[in-house]
Amino acid sequence: MTSCALSKGFDQEIFSFNISASWVLTIALIVIEGIILLNEIPNLIRNIIAYYQLEYEAHDIAHSTLNYIWLSSIKIMLAFLIIGERKRIVGFLWKGQLEKEVIIDSPGSSEQNDLE
């Protein structure tokens, strides 16, 4: 930095963000929910339209598209379930992470016993 003169004439300001891991997990779940819903709602509508078109034209072929309707419906229901249970999911993931840290950092861990 000194050879490029990048440190001259600039006041160094420290940017600190107080972001918790649970907040990051919450944002990640919101993004995942949004992606699932944005992909599956158009798929569900497309599959329903295809089902009724095939049902009208040929009665035997329409049953294969019914599976895709069920699959899209299940994905949408899972996305809404994640929306409703987001706090529990974050709590479960955060609790699991804390338990891992406690096991690794505990004084009686196997790694420390191996060193002695």
Q: Which long-range contacts (CB under 8 A, 24 or more apart) does 89-92 make?
A: 89/25, 89/29, 90/22, 90/25, 90/26, 90/29, 91/22
User: Do the Cβ atoms of 55 and 34 come closer than 8 Å?
Assistant: no
Q: pLDDT by residue (tens digit) across 35-92? A: 999 999 999 999 999 888 887 877 666 667 788 899 999 999 999 999 999 888 888 8
pTM of the model: 0.63
Whole-angstrom distance, CA of residue 42 vs CA of residue 65: 15
CB atoms closer than 10 angstroms to residue 38? 10
Q: pLDDT by residue (tens digit) across 76-113? A: 999 999 999 988 888 888 776 666 655 555 555 454 44
